[in-house]
């Protein structure tokens, strides 16, 4: 059976008294010399990215920080503070919300893009969309938006940066092509635009940069955490105690029996 200190094994961090090394880099060499996105990359990937790769990652991290108090993640962070919770607990509630539906679209989009790439590229978008809908769900992750019509302003901006990076050889551009092929396919099927949204666009970047799908969700969590902290802190300054989702006069609809046994 394993020894105690062998129970948790890691390639990430090495420590002795007075010494902290991440992936073999002494912490004092990283501080002040690498950017926060470079550090995120080093920690999750094992080596430092190029400047160009780090810039692209940075753009994705900047893009997804917040979508307002209507998003369950932000709503719960603000409510949490009115219940007396400090920022760490409010942020935990926000991040916990980023499950398959609210935070998982980026991860799923990377999976879909990867499936199309492995099938041979953009020409296989239609077939892989069919397979996705047969095996997973009718929702194509990363496309369409119930609020931002006609277009989510973050997506074209991010795609433009990918194109730029591809032209400089920072990434291949293959996943941008795949994303656009999905967009074209969905438009043809629906007879109207179903444009790429923030999840679809950040997934293009994460796939271009070689991040495995689950990390796409992890990175989204790091990004959205910024919005959650900002909103929780703003709410803390506003005060307010035990604020539910709506003002007290707007309650829920009761749909059960008036009397037991009815």
Site for its own copies in 218-237 (CB under 8 A): 218-219, 221-222, 225-227, 229-234, 236
**Residues within window 42-61 making contact with its own copies, judged by CB under 8 A:** 43-44, 46-48, 55, 58-59, 61
14 Cβ contact partners less than 8 Å away, ≥ 6 residues apart:
20, 21, 24
Question: What is d(CA 28, CA 222) in angstroms, rounded to the nearest whole number?
Answer: 23
Closer to its own copies by Cβ: residue 85 or 119: 85
Q: Strands 25-26 and 13-16: what pairing?
A: unpaired
User: CA 248, CA 147: separation in Å to the nearest integer?
Assistant: 26
Distance in angstroms (rounded) separating the CA atoms of residues 79 and 77: 6
DSSP letter for 191, please.
T
Determine which residue in the list 120, 123, 210, 245 makes contact with its own copies, applying CB under 8 A: 245
Binding to its own copies, residues 85-114 (CB under 8 A): 85-89, 91-93, 95-104
* 239 binds its own copies per the rule CB under 8 A: no
Number of residues that bind its own copies (CB under 8 A): 134
How many whole angstroms separate alpha carbon 235 and alpha carbon 219? 25
258 near its own copies (CB under 8 A): yes
Between 55 and 124, name the residue whose CB sits nearer to its own copies. 55
* Binding piece for its own copies, criterion CB under 8 A, among 80-88, 117-125, 167-175, 183-191: 80-88
Using CB under 8 A as the binding rule, whether residue 146 contacts its own copies is answered as: yes
Neighbours of 157 (CB within 10 A): 12
Among 10, 134, 138, 168, binds its own copies (CB under 8 A): 10
Nearest to 105, CA basis, from 148, 164, 53, 64 = 64
Q: Does 22 bind its own copies (CB under 8 A)?
A: yes
Q: How far is the CB of 97 from its own copies (least distance, A)?
A: 5
Q: By C-beta, is 169 or 249 nearer to its own copies? A: 249
CB atoms within 10 A of CB 48: 17
Q: Which of 53, 80, 111, 176 binds its own copies (CB under 8 A)?
A: 80
Contacts of 202 (CB under 8 A, 6+ apart): 60, 63, 64, 106, 158, 216, 219, 220
User: Which residue's structure tokens are 């940066």?
Assistant: 161
Taking the complex as a whole, the smallest distance from the CB of residue 192 to its own copies amounts, in Å, to: 15
Phi, psi dihedrals of residue 97, rounded to the nearest 5°: -65, -15
Residues 186-225 interacting with its own copies (rule: CB under 8 A) = 214-215, 217-219, 221-222, 225
Which of 25, 124, 131, 180 binds its own copies (CB under 8 A)? It is: 25
Smallest separation (angstroms) from its own copies to the CB of 120 = 27
Q: Does the footprint of its own copies cover residue 124 (CB under 8 A)?
A: no
């Amino acid at each position: 059976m394993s020894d105690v200190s062998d129970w948790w094994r890691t390639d990430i961090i090495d420590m002795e008294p007075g010494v902290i090394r991440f992936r073999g880099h002494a912490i004092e060499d990283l501080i002040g010399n690498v950017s926060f996105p470079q550090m995120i990359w080093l920690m999750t990937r094992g080596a430092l990215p190029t400047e160009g790769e780090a810039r692209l990652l940075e753009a994705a991290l900047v893009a997804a920080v917040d979508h307002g108090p209507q998003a369950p993640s932000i709503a719960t962070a603000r409510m949490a503070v009115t219940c007396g919770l400090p920022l760490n607990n409010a942020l935990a509630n926000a991040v916990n919300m980023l499950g398959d539906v609210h935070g998982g679209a980026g991860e799923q989009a990377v999976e879909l893009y990867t499936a199309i790439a492995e099938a041979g590229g953009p020409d296989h978008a239609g077939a892989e969309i069919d397979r996705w809908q047969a095996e997973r769900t009718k929702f194509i992750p990363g496309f369409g938006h119930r609020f931002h019509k006609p277009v989510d302003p973050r997506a074209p901006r991010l795609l433009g940066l990918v194109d730029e990076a591809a032209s400089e050889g920072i990434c291949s551009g293959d996943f941008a092509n795949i994303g656009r092929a999905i967009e074209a396919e969905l438009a043809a099927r629906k007879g109207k635009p179903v444009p790429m949204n923030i999840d679809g666009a950040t997934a293009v970047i994460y796939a271009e940069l070689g991040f495995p799908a689950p990390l796409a969700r992890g990175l989204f969590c790091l990004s959205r955490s910024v919005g959650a902290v900002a909103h929780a802190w703003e709410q803390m300054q506003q005060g307010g105690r035990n604020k539910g989702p709506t003002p007290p006069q707007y309650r829920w609809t009761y749909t059960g029996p008036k009397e037991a046994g009815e």
